[in-house]
């Protein structure tokens, strides 16, 4: 059985056709979509994090609200840009959110992607140390965060306030098990191997920031195999999870065909372009009749290698449309693709 989640970027814009005009619309509708997704049998509700853009930003208040309104569905991020984060404050927020949700949090972290702000993380008060790159900085923040949620001492006790007791203090509260539900968003084979070395689950999207000329799903499947091989070599104490993201639009209703029918002819193949100073390969969209795209997904090597599929949703079309979209995937695509 393969888990199915939705991934929302939380776009909002006051333009014709959008049902998400404001940030409040995006936040409230995402809570409502998590409730609806749980009702139709979806397994996860994930949000993408961006800064300096009309999309979701700091995710934990939203995740906590989703946790309070649901009981079963996993709640996660895909991904948090760790260049921007205070890792100890984030550890407190993550533990609190996880406890509210009865330990359903799945945290995808990463270095982040190209963004609208020039070194925006510096405006948040963070930057690489001498000799570091921004990727090094993100990994350093991640290491501090992971140590903190795992109960490591991160501050020295003040004997004047602790009855003369010295020693180290961990953050409070702690949420046992959260450290095994941290994922690394990887765009290359090399970073997938690094994630396995570190003992983090693997999250891979519809974009790889390298290209070898092979189809996207084959390159991503190679990335997953490298991750699994390295995980086995490291001998970590738990079984890792692997998620891949896909754009999946089954054409079931007139609304589906009106919105996406023509796009299926354009976006049905991989795209190669330049991103962040190098070649990148973008995965195709799966748009069509449910039985057709189910067969295509059953042949997708990376989807078959993963245990979780995150479906990117067109959130600006509103809750009702996206709830129906997810229900179509659960009822029609997933069984035919062999996921259920």
Beta bridge partners of 107: 77, 182
Nearest Cα residue to 148 out of 168, 127, 121, 165: 168
Please state the pTM of the whole predicted model. 0.95
Cβ pair 247, 312 in contact under 8 A:
yes
Q: Give Cα 166 to chain centroid, integer Å.
A: 40
Longest dimension (CA), the chain: 72
Q: For every residue of 83-142, which 3-state class applies, written as one string?
A: HHCCHHHHHHHHHHHHHHCCCCEEEEEECCCCCCCCCHHHHCCCCCCCCCCHHHHHHHHH
> In a structure prediction context, what are the per-residue pLDDT tens digits for the chain, which is 340 residues long?
899 999 999 999 999 999 999 999 999 999 999 999 999 999 999 999 999 999 999 999 999 999 999 999 999 999 999 999 999 999 999 999 999 999 999 999 999 877 889 999 999 999 999 999 999 999 999 999 999 999 999 999 998 887 777 789 999 999 999 999 999 999 999 999 999 999 999 999 988 889 899 999 999 999 999 999 999 999 999 999 999 999 999 999 999 999 998 887 777 787 887 777 777 888 899 999 999 999 999 999 999 999 999 999 999 999 999 999 999 999 999 999 999 8
């Amino acid at each position: 059985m393969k888990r199915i989640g939705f991934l929302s970027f939380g776009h909002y814009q006051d333009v014709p056709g959008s049902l998400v005009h404001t940030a409040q619309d995006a936040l409230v509708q995402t809570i409502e979509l998590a409730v609806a997704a749980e009702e139709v049998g979806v397994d996860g509700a994930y949000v993408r994090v961006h800064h300096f853009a009309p999309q979701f930003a700091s995710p934990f208040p939203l995740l906590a609200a989703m946790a309070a309104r649901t009981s079963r569905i996993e709640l996660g991020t895909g991904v948090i840009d760790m260049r921007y984060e205070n890792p100890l404050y984030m550890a407190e927020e993550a533990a609190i959110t996880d406890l509210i949700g009865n330990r359903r949090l799945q945290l995808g972290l990463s270095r982040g992607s190209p963004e609208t702000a020039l070194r925006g993380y510096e405006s948040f008060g963070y930057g690489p140390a001498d000799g570091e790159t921004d990727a090094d900085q993100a990994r350093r923040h991640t290491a501090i965060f992971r140590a903190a949620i795992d109960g490591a001492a991160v501050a020295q006790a003040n004997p004047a306030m602790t009855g003369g007791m010295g020693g180290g203090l961990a953050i409070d509260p702690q949420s046992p098990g959260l450290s095994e539900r941290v994922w690394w968003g990887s765009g290359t084979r090399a970073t997938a191997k690094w994630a396995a070395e570190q003992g983090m689950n693997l999250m891979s999207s519809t974009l790889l920031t390298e290209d070898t000329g092979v189809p996207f799903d084959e390159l991503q499947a190679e990335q997953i195999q490298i991750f699994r091989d390295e995980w086995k070599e490291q001998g970590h104490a738990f079984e890792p999870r692997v998620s891949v993201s896909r754009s999946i639009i089954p054409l079931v209703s007139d609304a589906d065909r009106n919105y996406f029918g023509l796009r299926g002819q354009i976006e049905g193949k991989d795209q190669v372009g330049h991103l962040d100073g190098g070649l990148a390969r973008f995965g195709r969209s799966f748009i069509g009749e449910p039985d057709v795209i189910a067969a295509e997904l059953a042949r997708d090597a990376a989807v078959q290698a993963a245990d979780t599929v995150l479906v990117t949703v067109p959130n600006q079309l509103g809750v009702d449309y996206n709830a129906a979209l997810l229900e179509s995937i659960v009822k029609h695509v997933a069984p035919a693709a062999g996921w259920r």
